[in-house]
Structure 1
Amino acid sequence: MGQGMHDLTGFQRDLLYVIAGHDQPHGLAIKAELEDYYDQEIHHGRLYPNLDALVDKGLVEKGELDRRTNYYALTQRGQRELEARREWEHQYLKDMEILA
């Protein structure tokens, strides 16, 4: 198991946010969402090892939609880590008008 959000790469953190915002997205849906955000192509060789790393850390669970397609979902631990991250960010951003 990993040590939570603080030992993730920025890319892995972004993967968590995308997974949190969708109902059991499959890999290609996650890929499309991040390509839109990053405005560049994300190769399978980057996407899937990072998704597997999140599964290994216990933050994401992977299941089968069918024999060819996996879905991804946050675990309870992943949800807790994301909430803790949001609280941590909020303490620095709370005085900005952005969050008003």
Structure 2
Amino acid sequence: MWFQSGRRRDLCAILYDAGELRGQKLKTQLERYYDTRLDPQSFYATLDALVDSGHLERRTEGIYDVYGLTDAGANRVESYYAWLTERVERRGKKTAEADE
């Protein structure tokens, strides 16, 4: 269920690369990737869902919430990467075979 939303997947991918980020910095990076502004309420609801499902952890740093992947979240990103890589490689092989 956790990857039924592309936004959830993309947030986890950003944190996989970055480690930990403040909520606003994470939102800014996702907005840059999507090239659109995200509704703050919807964005933070997505983060809450990922925290509740055990894929992200949240800690307080002063007045800021800082988010990072849990081991379960990192494992899901790696699993998705392997699944996607397999499909891309399979398509590449089909294309190469068709060109022969």
| Structure 2 length-normalised TM | 0.84
Structure 1, gaps ≥5 residues long: none
Q: Secondary structure at the match of 1:51?
A: helix
Q: 1:11 pairs with 7, 11, 29, which one?
A: 7
**Residue 23 of structure 1: how far off its partner (Å):** 2.8
Q: 2:60 pairs with 55, 61, 64, which one?
A: 64
Q: How does 1:1-100 map to 2 (within 5 A)?
A: 3-5=1-3, 8-66=4-62, 68-95=63-90, 96=92
**Residue 14 of structure 1: how far off its partner (Å):** 0.8
CA RMSD of aligned residues (A): 1.6
Q: Which runs of at least 4 in structure 1 moved beyond 4 Å after TM superposition?
A: none
**Residue 17 of structure 1: how far off its partner (Å):** 0.8
**Residue 52 of structure 1: how far off its partner (Å):** 0.5
Query: Compared with structure 1, are the counterparts of its residues 12 and 4 closer, same or farther at alpha carbon in structure 2 (3 Å cutoff)?
Result: closer
Q: Secondary structure at the match of 1:94?
A: helix
- Residue 11 of structure 1 aligns with an amino acid whose one-letter code is R
Give the Cα separation in 1 of the matches to 2:55 and 2:27.
18
Percent identity of equivalent pairs: 28
- Residue 71 of structure 1 aligns with an amino acid whose one-letter code is V
Structure 2, gaps ≥5 residues long: 94-100
- Residue 15 of structure 1 aligns with an amino acid whose one-letter code is L
Give the Cα separation in 1 of the matches to 2:70 and 2:9.
14
